A and B are shown apart, each in its own frame.
Chain A
Amino acid sequence: MKNVAISLKNVSYSYDKKNDVIKNVSLDIEKGKFISVIGHNGSGKSTFAKLIMGLLEPKEGEIKIFDLPLDGEHISQIRPYLGIVFQNPDNQFIGATVRDDIAFGLENQCYPQNKMDPLIEEYASRVGMSELLDKEPGNLSGGQKQRVAIAGVLAMHPKIIVFDEATAMLDPQGKDDINKLIELMRKKNEELTLITITHNVEETQTSDEVIVFNEGEIYMRGKPEDVFLKADKLRSIRLDTPLLYRVKEAFLSVGIKLKSKSIDELKEEIWP
C-alpha cells in the first residue's frame, strides 16, 4: 500500500454526539494526485479536511497517512507531512508581519534560528510576496494573506496539502491568484498530494479525481469527465457542472454532439 497517501476506513464523526456529520466513510487517496472535493454547505467537506489533518478525532473508524495510523501516538510524527490552508485569511494569520507568520511553522519545528531567513525569503518569493515581507496583515488584501498562508505551509515541506475553501472569501482577482498558484505548485512538485475543497466547480476541471460529498457520505467519485456527465445527479444535490459540460449538454439538446475535452478545444470545435 505504498502508493496510498491517505486512507479512511469506516470513519464517522459527530460534533454534538447526536447527528453524524461524517457517516461511515471509506476512501483511499493516492500519492501525488490532485483531488477536488465538492459538496453543498454542510455536506461534511470541511469536517473531512480537519479529520485527515488530525485536527479532529473520528468517533469511529481509522485514518492512516502513508500507512501510519493517525492517532495520539503517531501524530507528532505525521504532522510534518500535512499542511492546510483555511478559508478565512485573517483567522489563520498568526504572525505580526508576513515574515513572522511564515516563521511560525519553522519555530514549531525547532528549525535553527540562523537558517530561517533564507527559507522565509525563498517561499515568500515563490508566492510573489517578496516585496511585502514586513507588512502587517491589516495592510494586506485577502488574496495576499492567503498567499502568505501558502508560503507558511510550503516552508514546512509537507507531502499533503489541503485547501479548505481557500478562495471562498476572496474577490475574483484573489481567487484567480490562488488558483494559478495552486496550478504552479502542482507543476513544480509532482510528488505533492493536493486536495482542494470547494463548491466552485469551475476550479475542479483539471483535477485527477473529483469526490462528491453529500450529507456526510461519498455520493460519487471519479474522473471529472465521468462525474460531470451525470448533471442531473449533481443538480439533485444542489451542485452544478462546469461550463464545459453545460455547453456540451446544451448543444446535445439541439442535436449537436461535441467531443472536446477542454474549453480551448471546445472553442476550436464550435468555431474552427
Chain B
Amino acid sequence: MAVKFKHVNFTYSPKSPFEHDALFDINLEIDKNSFTAVIGHTGSGKSTLIQHINALLLPTNGVVNVNETLITPIRFRKYRRYLEKTIKNKKKTNEQKEIARNLLDEINNFNPYKKKKLRSEVGIVFQFPEYQLFEETVLKDVSFGPRNFGKTKEEAINLAKEALNRVGIDETYYERSPFELSGGEKRRVAIAGILAMKPSILILDEPTAGLDPLSSLKMMELFFEIYRQGITIILVTHDMNHVLNYSTHVIVMRDGKVERKTTPRELFADLKGEDVISLPPLYKFMHDLVDRGCPLKIDKINNEKDLARAIKGLKGNA
C-alpha cells in the first residue's frame, strides 16, 4: 500500500462565510506500484483528494497514510489525545467511537510524516505545469526541485539531465531560457522538473490537457514506461482512453465521496447514463451495438481492428 485514506473529511475555509465541504469520509487505498486512475465530474473532489497526498492540504478530520507515515489534521500527539478522549466521551455515538478507534489504530502503528521528505517522495504534476517554469535556463529550472531537497549542485544537475533525457529534451536545450520553448516543450521541461526529484509516487493531474493527439499519446507512453520501471502512478483524468489503455485500477469520485474502486474493464462493462459523454467514441459505439443486440464482449476489445475481427467472427458463425 502506497497511500491510504482513513475517514478523511475536508472542508475549505471552515467557520467562514466561504465554508465548503469538499471530501466526506474518504476511505481508500492506493496500491504500491499500481497505475491508478482517479475519475469523476468537475467538482467531485479529485483535486482536493490528491493535494492531501503530499500534505498541501491537511485533512479536517481523519488521517492520510503515505509511504508508512501519517498526515494528521493537527499535531500528531495532540490528535492522539483527541482520539483517546473521543473514545472515552460518553456523549459520542458508537459510530464516532468506532471511527476514533480505527484512527487510533493507525496512529499507534505509524509515525508522523516529515514534510520535506514527503514532498520529495510524492511528485505532483499539476494541470498546465508549464506555468511553474521560472528559472533562467532549462537546466536550472529542472534542478530546482532536487536542490530544494538537499542535493548538491552537481547532483541536482545530473538528476536534471537524466530527467530531461527521459522526456526527450536534449542538450541543445539545457542553456536556453524555458520561455523561448514551444508549449509542448515547456510542458516536458516542467514534467522533467518533477521526475528529477525521483519520487516514489507520481501524481498527474490531466497531464495531456491541451495537447494534440500524437503528443498526448507520446506523453502517456512515457508515463507508462516510467511506471513499468517501478513507481506508483496516480492519474487524474477525464480522458477515458487513458484510463482504458494504461491504468490498473480506477477510483470513481462523486460529490466528494468515493463511489467505488474498480478495474478499467469492470468500469466499462457497466456504465451509467451521464458518464457516457466521457466514454471514448469507440466504446460508446460498441455500447450502442450491444444495445442493438450484438453479443460483443466489450472488455476484450481494445481498438477498431479487434472490433472488426470480432464482428467478422460473429458474422462468420451466423
**How far apart are B77's CB and chain A's nearest CB, in angstroms?**
40
Nearest residue, chain B, Cβ from A177? B277
Interface residues on B, range: 20 to 34
Within 197-224 of B, Cβ neighbours of A (below 8 Å) are at: 209-215
Given contacts A41-B184, A141-B42, A250-B307, contact A263 B238 (CB under 8 A): no
Contact of A42 among B182, B238, B294 (CB under 8 A): B182
**How far apart are A58's CB and chain B's nearest CB, in angstroms?**
22
Interface flags, A212-256, vs B, CB<8A=1, else 0: 000000000000000000000000001110110011011101111
- Any B CB within 8 A of the CB of A40: yes
- Any A CB within 8 A of the CB of B149: no
- Are the CB atoms of B304 and A199 closer together than 8 Å? no
Contact of A239 among B210, B212, B238, B308 (CB under 8 A): B212
- Are the CB atoms of A172 and B278 closer together than 8 Å? yes
- Any A CB within 8 A of the CB of B183: yes
Within 248-272 of A, Cβ neighbours of B (below 8 Å) are at: 249-251, 253-256, 263, 266-267, 270-271
CA distance A246 to B309 in the complex (A): 14
Nearest residue, chain A, Cβ from B183? A41
Nearest residue, chain A, Cβ from B216? A199
**How far apart are A174's CB and chain B's nearest CB, in angstroms?**
8
CA distance A225 to B288 in the complex (A): 23
- Are the CB atoms of B289 and A270 closer together than 8 Å? yes
Q: Give chain A residues whose Cβ lies under 8 Å from the Cβ of B281.
A: 202, 242-243
**How far apart are A178's CB and chain B's nearest CB, in angstroms?**
13
**How far apart are B124's CB and chain A's nearest CB, in angstroms?**
20
Contact of B312 among A201, A247, A256 (CB under 8 A): A256
- Are the CB atoms of B277 and A176 closer together than 8 Å? yes
- Are the CB atoms of A253 and B292 closer together than 8 Å? no
- Are the CB atoms of B184 and A171 closer together than 8 Å? no
**How far apart are B203's CB and chain A's nearest CB, in angstroms?**
19
Contact of B210 among A168, A249, A254 (CB under 8 A): A168
Contact of B209 among A40, A169, A256 (CB under 8 A): A169
- Any B CB within 8 A of the CB of A173: yes
- Are the CB atoms of B304 and A171 closer together than 8 Å? no
- Are the CB atoms of B289 and A238 closer together than 8 Å? no
Interface flags, B162-191, vs A, CB<8A=1, else 0: 000000000000000000001110000000
Within 285-313 of B, Cβ neighbours of A (below 8 Å) are at: 285, 288-289, 292-294, 303-305, 307-309, 311-312
- Are the CB atoms of B285 and A267 closer together than 8 Å? yes
Given contacts A40-B212, A168-B210, A243-B281, contact A271 B294 (CB under 8 A): yes
- Are the CB atoms of B285 and A263 closer together than 8 Å? yes
**How far apart are A34's CB and chain B's nearest CB, in angstroms?**
20
- Are the CB atoms of A172 and B308 closer together than 8 Å? no
**Residue of A199, A239, A271 with most partner-chain B CB within 10 A:** A271
Given contacts A250-B305, A263-B285, A270-B289, contact A239 B214 (CB under 8 A): yes
Q: Give chain A residues whose Cβ lies under 8 Å from the Cβ of B271.
A: none
Within 202-259 of B, Cβ neighbours of A (below 8 Å) are at: 209-215, 238
CA distance A141 to B41 in the complex (A): 12
CA distance A256 to B316 in the complex (A): 12
CA distance A63 to B215 in the complex (A): 32
Contact of B304 among A202, A239, A250 (CB under 8 A): A250
- Are the CB atoms of A238 and B215 closer together than 8 Å? yes
- Are the CB atoms of A249 and B304 closer together than 8 Å? yes
CA distance A223 to B6 in the complex (A): 56
CA distance A253 to B311 in the complex (A): 13
- Are the CB atoms of A171 and B214 closer together than 8 Å? no
- Are the CB atoms of B285 and A247 closer together than 8 Å? yes
Nearest residue, chain B, Cβ from A172? B278
**How far apart are B310's CB and chain A's nearest CB, in angstroms?**
10
Contact of A238 among B210, B213, B303, B305 (CB under 8 A): B213
Q: Give chain A residues whose Cβ lies under 8 Å from the Cβ of B282.
A: 243, 246-247
Contact of A40 among B214, B289, B307 (CB under 8 A): B214
CA distance A199 to B309 in the complex (A): 29
Contact of A247 among B278, B292, B304, B309 (CB under 8 A): B304
- Are the CB atoms of A253 and B308 closer together than 8 Å? yes
A selection of 28 A-B contacts at a CB cut-off of 8 Å is: A40-B212, A41-B182, A42-B182, A171-B41, A171-B42, A172-B277, A173-B42, A173-B277, A176-B277, A199-B212, A201-B213, A202-B281, A238-B212, A238-B214, A240-B214, A247-B285, A247-B304, A247-B308, A251-B311, A253-B308, A254-B305, A256-B311, A256-B312, A267-B285, A267-B289, A270-B289, A271-B292, A271-B311
Known: A239-B213, A254-B309, A271-B311. 20 other contacts (CB 8 A): A40-B212, A41-B183, A169-B210, A173-B42, A173-B277, A199-B212, A201-B213, A238-B213, A239-B212, A239-B214, A243-B304, A247-B285, A250-B304, A250-B305, A250-B307, A254-B308, A255-B312, A256-B311, A256-B312, A266-B285
Which residues does A use to contact B, with CB under 8 Å?
A: 40-42, 141, 168-169, 171-173, 176, 199, 201-202, 238-240, 242-243, 246-247, 249-251, 253-256, 263, 266-267, 270-271
